[in-house]
Structure 1
Amino acid sequence: MRLLRQCGVDHAVLRLPEREDGTMPDDPAAVTAAVREVREAGFSVEVIEPLPPFERVKQGLPGRDEEIERIHGLIRTMSELGVPVLCHNFMAMHGWGRTRWAERGRGGALVTGFDVDDLEEQEELISAEQMWANYEYFVCAVVPVAEQYGIQLALHPDDPPIASYRGVARIMTTPDAIERAMNLSDSPAQGLAFCQGTFSTMGVDVPSTIHRFADRIRFVHFRDVIGEPNRFTETFHDEGQTDMAKAMAAYVEIGFDGPMRSDHVPTLDGEDNTHPGYETLGRLNAVGYMRGLWESAVSARA
C-alpha cells in the first residue's frame, strides 16, 4: 500500500481478507475493519471484489437463500461505509482458470497462460440452461436490494470465455451473452466489470465494445492477452493484441469516471511468483502505464 501511495494511487479495490480455510468474512465488523485499515493507509475504498463465495447460488443448491441473505447483509454494510461498487462473477465451482502459471514472457518475466488441450475431458456437471436459471434467480433476489441501498453490482465476464470449464458451463463468454445478462434488469444497480483481458480473449474490438456497454460499465480491469479463448497468454499491458491507447480514449469518450485497476500483471525478476498475476513490480509498472495513457486521453479530449 505504501508503494502504491508513492506512485500516486489514492483509490483502492478491496479484497476481503481470507481465513485459513479460504473463506472470506462478510460480517459487518470484519468488513468495517478491513475498510478502515485501507482508509487509514490513505485510500478511498471504491470497490469490494469479489463477493465472498456463494456457490449454492451459482449451482442452484439448497441453502442458496441463506447465501443471498448474507449478500444482502454485505450490501447494507457497504452502504453504511460508503463503498459504492460490489464486483462479482458467476463462474460456478471454479474461478478464473489457467493451465500454465509460469510461461516466459518479455525479458524472461513470468506470465500466465491457458491451453484447453491441457484440460482433461469431464462429463457435464452443470448445463448452460441451469447456469442461466441460477443467474436470473440471483439477479431477481439481489439487484433490487442493491438498488435500494445505492450499491452498484459489477458482473465480471467468465475467464477463460469458453463454453465449458472442467464440466461446468460458462455463460458470460461473449458480448451478446453479457448484453443478455444486463438486460435481465434495467436497474442502475445491474452493471458490468469490464475486464479488458477477457473481452480481448473473446476476439472482439475492445474500444468499440467499451462504447457498446457505455451505460453499464461500473468498474474496469485493465489488462491484455495474446490469443483466443482456447489458447492465450497474458502479457505486459503494452504488448498485447489490444490498442490500449484507443481503449483508454474510449473510456474518456463515454465519460467513465469509475474505478479502474491493473489486473494479472507479469512477475518480474526478484519476485518468487507465489501469487501469479498479482506480484508487486508488474503492478507498479502497470499503474504508471495506465496513468500516462489516461492523462494523454484526457488531454486529447480537452
Structure 2
Amino acid sequence: MRQTWRWFGPKDLCSIDDMCQAGVQGVVSALHHVPTGMVWSPAEIAQRQSEIATMQDGGASSLSWDVVESLPVSEDIKRQTGDWRQHIENWKTSMRHLHAAGIEVICYNYMPVLDWTRTDLAWRLPTGGTCMRFDLIDFAAFDIHILARPGAAEDFTPQVVEEAQRRFSGMSEDRKGQLAKNVVFGLPGAAENFSLDDVRAHLAKYAGTSADQLRAHLVDFLAEVAPLAEELGVRLCCHPDDPPFALLGLPRVMSTEDDYRQIMDAVNVAANGITLCSGSLGARPDNDLPGMMERLGDRVHFLHLRNVLRESGDVKGSFHEAEHLGGGTDMVALIAAVLREERRRRTAGRSDVSIPFRPDHGQDILDDLKRQAQPGYPSIGRLKGLAELRGIMTALDHPTEGLQ
C-alpha cells in the first residue's frame, strides 16, 4: 500500500515540507485552476510536478505526483449537451499529457453539479475537535426553504419536512447564509465557485434526467476514454458519490457495489476501475466495504481510507467524519482485504501491486484548530489517521503475526 497525501497546490496550508515530515511516499494533486473541460498542458503539469519535488529551501523533496485527483468530467459530458464531444477529446488529450509526464493513476467523479455535500464544515465534537458533518434536517431546510427547489419537500419523509421547518424557523440570518455556503462549498483554487443562482441554473439543466440516462452517458464517456487509458497503461478510477444517495432531485449512479459492477461490466477493460472511498461508501449501511474490496479488488486502482459515523440506520441519513478507526467501517478488515489483493497481484505478476491510498479527511485537532485549513484536510488530524492506518498495515503484514 503506497502512502500518499492530497495537496491542493502552493496555496495549501499543508506544505511540501509538512508532507515530507509526515513520511508520505507520494502526492495526490490536480490543476484546480484550469477550467473544467479545458486541456491540461504539459507546461502546467510540469509546473505542478516541480512544485511537488521542491522543498521550501529549494532542496529536493523526494516526492512525486503519483495520482491525479481529479481530472474533472464536465457537466456537458454528463448531460451530453453543448461542447461535450470536444470536452471528451480534451480529456483524452490531458490524459496523454499526464501519461507522458509519468502519471498513471487518474481519479475522477461523476456526481452532477456538486462534488460533495456537507452541512457543517466544523462541527464541534465532545473532545473539542471539529469535523465535517452532513445533517439531513439541515440539508432539508436548505433544499426546501433556502434554495427553494420546486418539489423539494417530496424528496423527504413528512417527519423530516416537519423537523426542517422547525429548524429553519429557528435559524438566524447568519446561520442560513453559513448553511448555504457550506452546501455549495468548493475546493481551494477551484475554477468553479457556485452561488445559489448557479446551483438553480445547473439543476434546471438536469430536469428530467434519470439515473439510467446519466449512467448511459457515463458508459459513453468511458467507452471513449478507457480504451485509450488501457493502451497507454493509465488506470482510471471513479470516485463514489458523496454522500451516496440522491440529493437536490439529482440522480446518483456511483453509490453502491452494483453501481460499480454495472459500469465495469459495460466497459470491461482493466483500466476502467474504482476509487474505493471507505468514507463515501460507508455513509450507507448497506455497503460492505471489506466485501467490496474482496469482490472488486482487481479493479481498485486507488483508495481513500476514512471513516464516518452514521447517526441512523437509514440509507439517507445524517453522519459525521469519525476518527479513522472510530466509525462504522471495520478498517482492520478492509486493510486486510487490500493486503490480500496486493498478494494476489504479486502472484499474478501485475505491475500495479502497491495500491496508492491516502488518509482521506481528518478531524481538526490541536493546532489544526488555529490554522483554518481546507475543511476535511487538516495536517495533524490526517497525520493521526495515517499513523493509525500504518499501525494496522504493519501489524497485518508482520512476518510473525500477519497474513502470510
Common topology (TM > 0.5): yes
How far, CA to CA, are the matches of 1:234 and 1:189 in structure 2? 30
Residue 200 in structure 1 maps to residue 282 in structure 2: yes
The aligned counterpart of 1:13 is 28
Residue 186 in structure 1 maps to residue 262 in structure 2: no
> Secondary structure at the residue paired with 2:53?
helix
Amino acid at match of 2:233: G
For residue 377 of structure 2, the aligned residue among 257, 278, 285 is: 278
Is this contact kept in 2: 1:78–1:84, CA < 8 A? Answer: yes
Residue 115 in structure 1 maps to residue 135 in structure 2: yes
Give TM-score scaled by structure 2 length. 0.70
Structure 1 runs, 4 residues or longer, greater than 6 Å off: 21-25
Structural RMSD (CA): 2.0
Superposition map of 1:99-114 within 5 A: 99-114=119-134
Is this contact kept in 2: 1:57–1:64, CA < 8 A? Answer: yes
The aligned counterpart of 2:317 is 230
Q: Gapped runs of 5+ residues in structure 1?
A: none
Residue 170 in structure 1 maps to residue 170 in structure 2: no
1:29 deviates by 1.0
The aligned counterpart of 2:47 is 33
Q: Residue deviations 1:201-228, cap 9 Å, x none? A: 1222221121011111000000010115
> Secondary structure at the residue paired with 2:218?
helix
How far, CA to CA, are the matches of 2:236 and 2:130 in structure 1? 32
The aligned counterpart of 2:354 is 257
1:274 deviates by 4.3
1:7 deviates by 2.4
> Secondary structure at the residue paired with 2:283?
helix
CA 24–276 in structure 1, closer or farther in 2 if over 3 Å, else same = farther
Is this contact kept in 2: 1:266–1:279, CA < 8 A? Answer: yes
Amino acid at match of 1:217: V
How far, CA to CA, are the matches of 2:260 and 2:72 in structure 1? 22
The aligned counterpart of 2:388 is 289
The aligned counterpart of 2:190 is none
How far, CA to CA, are the matches of 2:38 and 2:48 in structure 1? 11
Is this contact kept in 2: 1:156–1:192, CA < 8 A? Answer: yes
Q: Gapped runs of 5+ residues in structure 2?
A: 1-15, 55-60, 151-205, 343-352
Q: Residue deviations 1:17-59, cap 9 Å, x none? A: 426x899872221012112321343213221001135221112
Amino acid at match of 1:212: R
The aligned counterpart of 1:130 is 213
Larger radius of gyration: 2
Give TM-score scaled by structure 1 length. 0.93
For residue 111 of structure 2, the aligned residue among 76, 82, 91 is: 91
1:175 deviates by 1.0
Is this contact kept in 1: 2:68–2:107, CA < 8 A? Answer: yes
How far, CA to CA, are the matches of 1:261 and 1:106 in structure 2? 26
Is this contact kept in 2: 1:18–1:24, CA < 8 A? Answer: no
